[in-house]
Every structure is written in structure tokens, then in C-alpha cells.
Chains A and B, each alone.
Chain A
């Protein structure tokens, strides 16, 4: 089926199977590979993007849900030369090890801060525990979210 939607502000139109997950539309059809495949069943969070302003697992959003939608991916959140506050904090805290989960972590953290500008540790635990990091960067993720909250408030 043909669907038209926006990705990072730009209009896109693809002709794909109705059930194809947004993850693969982004990666294989639009060449946006910052959004990662880790599990395909919403267990790891590596494919987290924003759909109409909310964090979603792109592996669970089907193409047929996308007509008219606005999608924001890690590539649209900020750029190396113009970082989003969350990315800035991620760099400052040297969060990444292998880095493969971090696109999803950052998108989930940005969504959390949109909703809750100053989350407590418990609130971070509640929002961020669907994002798996096999390298174990959790202590730095937590610190970076607090730092990003301050940047956004400051």
C-alpha cells in the first residue's frame, strides 16, 4: 500500500506491505539507519522514535498506521553540529559504549523530558526500563538524563 507521512519534517511517500513495521520502512526504504533493529518484538527499545510527539517502538508500528503521521527519528532530533540537549548530555557524560542502543535510549529520554521536565530517579526507572543496554551504561544514562533536564530548564 502507498502511505504518505512526514519524517523529520520532510514529506515521504512509500509503497510497501501494509504490515511492514515503521522500523524497516525507515531503515531499508528511507535509508535512515540511526533507528536500530535489536529484537523486533518491543523488548529492547533500540528502534524508539517519536510518532506524533510520543515515543513508540518503530518495530510495532505498521505502515498502515502511518498515513498523515509525523515521525521524528534520532537523525531529526539533533545533528552532530546542532545537538539536542539530551544528545549534548549523552556526549558530555560519555554514555555510549557500543552505542547500538543509544538512539533508542536518547529518543525515549527526550520523550520523557517532553512530558516531565525534571524526572526523579524513580520516574526515570519507570520510563527507561523498556530500553535495554547490553553494555550496561545505565548509570551514565541516568546521570545524562538529569543533566539534560538541567540543560533544558537552564
Chain B
């Protein structure tokens, strides 16, 4: 436990910013195979070939350790294993579980795109660093879902897991029946003998357990795939369409009580005094307990717990950051006036050549606000703790619960759940730690903690605010120089501070999605100005690229218009990374870019690469008497390899909706240290009537398999701003846009 903590601490410092300390772990640590958590308590007639597959008691269990936040990754992990294992996902003996938190499930792809190498940098130094970072993540055992890395992490690993098990099962069948392995084939969870007999895997388990597993089995060519690359019915879709999928908030245990919290609405502030007599007088309220930053009310049902929490009279201490929003903006402006923390890109002396068209942009704080509010079900006894919660870092959550309950790590069992959305909120721990405090106080009694929407939003750890200044030069109608300075607090540092870590180096998230823009602008500079810590912030779907992509693609668009060039053709002329070019060419073709538009309509384009995935979007708006209306959207993304054409279309459409909605109508602002937006009436995102048709094309030209959860978000806001400019001549440099224009 203490060793794991120590390793984890180093991992973060390395993973988020730099790999230079990596060799300190030594080759041994990097190449060590972690223990297989499924091998514990394995009965003699059962087998677990690797941490993802276990065959026991007539069942084939596939482990899908990446957390399903709605992106369908639980299904996709099972599909990756099943493809090579030759099982079908509808087989009755198949069980798909998230498994326990374990070092074996470390996400080796999590750090790839956080390194100081541009996506398009495939030089040996960059590739070796990525490899070392991946091994480091493996050695550190950090199990995490985020950074659009679940498919990149799983793509080979899980197919190899399936192939290894399949070949070992074949070997067992060959031994048992005296046939050559080459004469065997596998299908639907069984090895088929040449004489037509089928030997179910579940019956071969005992034999296979005695064999040395077959390693290094070559993976099948995608042309041979049965499942992957084709439209699939997601495993969860039937349950999610019938109300039968049980989320964390839906779970019940016998004897369970319900808890709600009332926390200082000024994040980080303390509870100075309180009077709970009115709350305790409510029928059904059982207890009022102190928790970090406030109080918890224990009641007979959720609603009574909420009412009890509302009835508490509290005196709150001040926030641990500037109380008024204007001071936050001022801090960013001051950071821009100060020397940069790091010059991330510096080509062709942009500092002296980019001299015109001064522009300033702003991106506000934003809440994640997943529709299922945060919470957890927990039961703490004298020697064991079970916690049911959807979490993106289940191993770290488990550690925190162990510390709070005083139980050894092995006694804490975290059951990871399907999440009702996250967008980054479930990277945070405040629901887990509050639940552990409450569960410990009520030792022996199961308790379900549910945050009210208002508490969830007040303690959402929003997306970072950011501000940018840009200047540029046009020469002969072409973009000659761009100098982009971005100020933001460090989201990585803010997140790490809550698990007791500091981040000494520069934070790539200040400039993510901007500094590696694949444009050959003759003079191009991108600098990060790290602002001091302000409100506590957290990764919000696409993280730094959500602000930096907006700044970069807006500033570029302004310069292109100043040069009277075509926004899409000029981007194509500048683009020097083939997959990104392919995306721009695809959207141009999809929307027949350049064709005359009806009066009042305009189109804007933007292309942002985040987490390695280039995404180009064209948004079309119409200026109507009732206001601006988004009439169409076209998207092209290159993920290298499409694993499910239906689900990826859904995720891309969802990413565009997420980007557009928050760009037009959402922000979190602070007054008196409190978020002024308390519920969806003030922070809605997009609603159905505002959603344009979204046409999607997914390309497979890129050199690596990439994720798609986040990359469609960053281009949406700048494409929309650029479209509004095209339709109305009005340039919007600050989100949300509805502060300046009306949307129909």
C-alpha cells in the first residue's frame, strides 16, 4: 500500500508534464508484469489466462476495467477481447464485469498526449518517450479512464488477451484429443474438432489451467474481424432503453439509510457554525453528521435527506480563492502581462513579425453537470468496506476510502458502476471521501449518499477559465505570422493538489490543442502564461483544448478573413499533417464548401487536434428574425481505425452538441465566493430544438488508433463563432455567445 502510493505520486508528476524522471524506476519496474487480480481464489477447475479473462463455474468472465461514462467502453472492451477469443457477446455463459481496481489495469496510454511532443511528431525521441511513458504508467499501476485513451490503451492489449486465451484453450483441446492445434478452429466459445465435435471453453478450463499460456500470438488482420469494425448493438442499450440499467444512484441494500450533504457553497471554505434543530425536527431525519466542509443529513429517503439538508442553518467561512469573478479575469490579464511560463512553439520569430490585428479572447468556467448527480453507496463494517460508485480512478478512490475508514486496502472493495455521464466530474473524489466519512460514522449500516443537483453544481470543480491575446500578420493575402499567448490556471495542478501532490513543471493543458496546430504558418509562436490558482478546477471534456482550440482557431480565422482568403482553403494550404488535411478535405466535400448559400446564412470551419485525433467541423448558421439558428453541422474525424461505426457517430455527434451548447449558453461565475449558477436553468447546454443535423464521416488514414470521447468538442465553438462572423459580420471572442447575440 505505501509502496503503491509512493509510485502513484511519482507517476502523476511524470505523466502530466514530463518524462525526464522516468528512468529512475529502472528497467525492472518498467517491464515488470503486474499480478493478475483474477488469479486470487481461483478454484482448481478454473482458469484465468490474464487479468481480463476468467473461466470458472461454467461461465466466461471478461473484465472491462475502463469506466463506462456513457461512451460505451464497457461494451468495446468486451468486443475487443471477444474478437480474438472467438466468443459472441450474446452467449449466455458470458459475464462482463469491471473487475476490482488493480495495477494490472493500468492505463498505459493516458500520458501519451500529455508529453511535450506534438501529435504529428513521430521522431524516434518522441516515440521512445511515449513508449517509456506508457511503461511508466504500467509500472505505476494507475488505472484511469480519461484523456480519450481507453481505446488506444485497450486496442492491442485486449485483443492479445483474447488471442492468448484462445490459443491456450486450443492447446488444451489438442492435448486432450490428440489432434494437432492447426486442425482446430474456434467459434462461439468452443473449440471445434475436425470431426465436428464442439468442446465448450467452460469445459476446457481445468485442462487449460495446467498449461503454460501461449504468449505472442499474432493478432488477426482487421479484414478478418467478425465483430470489430461493424455496427454493434451495445450491451447496455436495451437496459438503458427500458429503465432496467442500475446506476449507482439506483442501488439499494437491506437496512440502507439515505444521506444528503450541505457543504460550504464557497468551495474550500469551512463550516463556522450551525444549527441543526430544524433539520432534526423533520419527520424521517435520523441524524446530522459533520463531514469535511459541511454536514450530512441521514434520513429514511433521499427527499427527506435533501429537505433536512436545506433546513440546516449554517454560517460559512470564506472561499479559498478570490470571491468575485472580475478578480479571476484580472488574474488572467495580469498573467498575460507577465513573462510566459513556457514558449511551447516558436517558429520564424513570430514575436517580432506578428504585429497586427490585436485580438483578445475569453473562455469561462463551465460545470460538468452530468445528469446523474454524484454520490455513492457504501457499507463499512469492522473489517470490510464495500463502495459502489462510478469512478474514473477506481484505484485511487479505493486508497482514499482505505485511509478514511482505517481499513487495509485489501479490505476495501470498490464496485465500479455505469455512470450517468461524467465529462470529467467523476475524476474527482469528494463524493467518495464524504461517503467514506459518513459510512465510517455509521459503521455497520449501509448508506447511500446522493448529492442534490444544487450541491453537485456548487462543488463541480469547473473547467478552467482562460484568456488569450493574439496578434498576426497578413502578407499577400496569406497568413504570415501568428503569435498566440494563452493564460489559464493549471488544471493539472489544481486536480493534483486535491490528492496531495504538486506539479512543478509547465502544464501542457494551458496550450493543448493550440501549440501543436498542424499549420505551416511561417512565423508561429504559442506561449503559456500560467495564472495563479483561482477557483478549484478539473478536467472538463477535452480539458485544455476546450479553451485553447477556441482561441487558436478563432484567431487564425480572423487573420484569414483579414487576408480575404477562403477560411477552408487557406487552412488546407497551411495544413502540413496528412490526417488533419484529410479531415479538412472531407468536411469541404461533405458540405459542398464554397457553394452559394441562401441569404442570411453563413458557414464557419475549425479544425483542432486533441488527444491525437484531428477533427474538422463546419457549422452553418442562419440569422433569423428570432435570432441565430444553427442549421447544419458537418464533422470529419480521423481515428486511425473505426471499431464501431454506429457508436462512433453517436459519440461525435454528442461531442459537437457538448461543444456547441456550452459555447452558446453556459458559464459558471463566482460572486461572494459562490457559483451563481445552481441548476440547469442557468447552465443548460444544448437542447433538442437547437441541435442541427450533424453529418459525420470518420476517416482511417492516421498512423495510430485514437480515441473519440473528447476530440469532437474543441472545434465546435470556434466553428460556430466563425460561422456567426460569416453570417452577420460580428466577431465573437468570448463564450458564452448568448451574452452578445440572441439564439432562436
Kindly list chain A residues whose C-beta atoms are within 8 Å of the C-beta of B284: 17
Asked if A33 and B250 make an inter-chain contact with CB atoms under 8 angstroms apart, the answer reads yes
- Residue on B nearest A125 in the bound complex, by CB: B689
Asked if A134 and B650 make an inter-chain contact with CB atoms under 8 angstroms apart, the answer reads no
At the interface, yes or no: B117 with Cβ under 8 Å from chain A? no
Kindly list chain A residues whose C-beta atoms are within 8 Å of the C-beta of B694: 139
Q: In angstroms, how far is the closest chain B Cβ from the Cβ of A43?
A: 4
Encoded as 1 (CB less than 8 Å from any B CB) or 0, chain A from 59 to 80 comes to 0000000000000011100111
- Residue on A nearest B656 in the bound complex, by CB: A136
- Residue on A nearest B694 in the bound complex, by CB: A139
Kindly list chain B residues whose C-beta atoms are within 8 Å of the C-beta of A73: 243
Asked if A75 and B658 make an inter-chain contact with CB atoms under 8 angstroms apart, the answer reads no
At the interface, yes or no: B505 with Cβ under 8 Å from chain A? no
Asked if B242 and A28 make an inter-chain contact with CB atoms under 8 angstroms apart, the answer reads no
Asked if A39 and B679 make an inter-chain contact with CB atoms under 8 angstroms apart, the answer reads yes
Kindly list chain B residues whose C-beta atoms are within 8 Å of the C-beta of A79: 242
Kindly list chain A residues whose C-beta atoms are within 8 Å of the C-beta of B174: none
Asked whether A100 and B421 contact (CB < 8 A) given A28-B301, A138-B688, the answer is: yes
C-alpha gap A73/B679 in the complex (Å): 25
B371: contacting residue among A28, A101, A126, CB under 8 A:
A101
Chain-A contact segment, one of B231-239, B437-445, B482-490: B231-239
Q: Which range contains the number of B residues in contact with the other chain? A: 35 or more
C-alpha gap A151/B647 in the complex (Å): 23
B237: contacting residue among A31, A33, A91, A125, CB under 8 A:
A91
Asked if B688 and A97 make an inter-chain contact with CB atoms under 8 angstroms apart, the answer reads no
Asked if A125 and B688 make an inter-chain contact with CB atoms under 8 angstroms apart, the answer reads yes
C-alpha gap A36/B369 in the complex (Å): 15
Asked whether A94 and B688 contact (CB < 8 A) given A34-B243, A101-B371, the answer is: no
Kindly list chain B residues whose C-beta atoms are within 8 Å of the C-beta of A124: 688
- Residue on B nearest A28 in the bound complex, by CB: B301
Chain-A contact segment, one of B64-72, B176-184, B270-278, B357-365: B64-72
Asked whether A134 and B237 contact (CB < 8 A) given A28-B258, A129-B687, A139-B693, the answer is: no
B302: contacting residue among A27, A90, A102, A135, CB under 8 A:
A27
Asked if A99 and B658 make an inter-chain contact with CB atoms under 8 angstroms apart, the answer reads no
Asked if A98 and B657 make an inter-chain contact with CB atoms under 8 angstroms apart, the answer reads no
Q: In angstroms, how far is the closest chain A Cβ from the Cβ of B715?
A: 14
Asked whether A134 and B688 contact (CB < 8 A) given A43-B679, A102-B241, the answer is: no
Kindly list chain B residues whose C-beta atoms are within 8 Å of the C-beta of A138: 653, 657, 686-688, 691
C-alpha gap A39/B371 in the complex (Å): 8
C-alpha gap A146/B374 in the complex (Å): 34
Encoded as 1 (CB less than 8 Å from any A CB) or 0, chain B from 218 to 262 comes to 000000000000000110111111111111011010000010000
C-alpha gap A33/B452 in the complex (Å): 16
C-alpha gap A135/B420 in the complex (Å): 9
At the interface, yes or no: A96 with Cβ under 8 Å from chain B? yes
Asked if A21 and B654 make an inter-chain contact with CB atoms under 8 angstroms apart, the answer reads no
Q: In angstroms, how far is the closest chain B Cβ from the Cβ of A39?
A: 5
A75: contacting residue among B244, B370, B419, CB under 8 A:
B244
30 A-B contact pairs sorted by A residue (CB < 8 Å): A27-B250, A28-B301, A31-B252, A36-B371, A36-B372, A38-B453, A39-B680, A40-B306, A40-B453, A75-B242, A83-B242, A98-B70, A98-B421, A100-B420, A103-B243, A126-B689, A129-B689, A132-B371, A132-B685, A134-B371, A135-B70, A135-B657, A136-B654, A136-B656, A136-B658, A137-B650, A137-B654, A138-B688, A139-B691, A141-B688
Question: Which residue numbers of B lie inside 8 Å of A, CB to CB?
Answer: 69-72, 233-234, 236-247, 249-250, 252, 258, 283-284, 301-304, 306, 369-373, 418-423, 450, 452-453, 646-647, 650-651, 653-658, 661, 679-681, 684-691, 693-694
A17-B283, A28-B301, A41-B679 given. 17 additional CB < 8 A pairs? Answer: A23-B303, A37-B302, A37-B450, A38-B371, A38-B453, A39-B453, A39-B680, A41-B453, A74-B243, A98-B70, A98-B422, A99-B239, A125-B689, A133-B657, A134-B423, A135-B657, A140-B650
| 7 tightest A-B CB contacts, nearest first | A34-B243, A136-B657, A98-B70, A99-B240, A100-B420, A74-B243, A136-B654
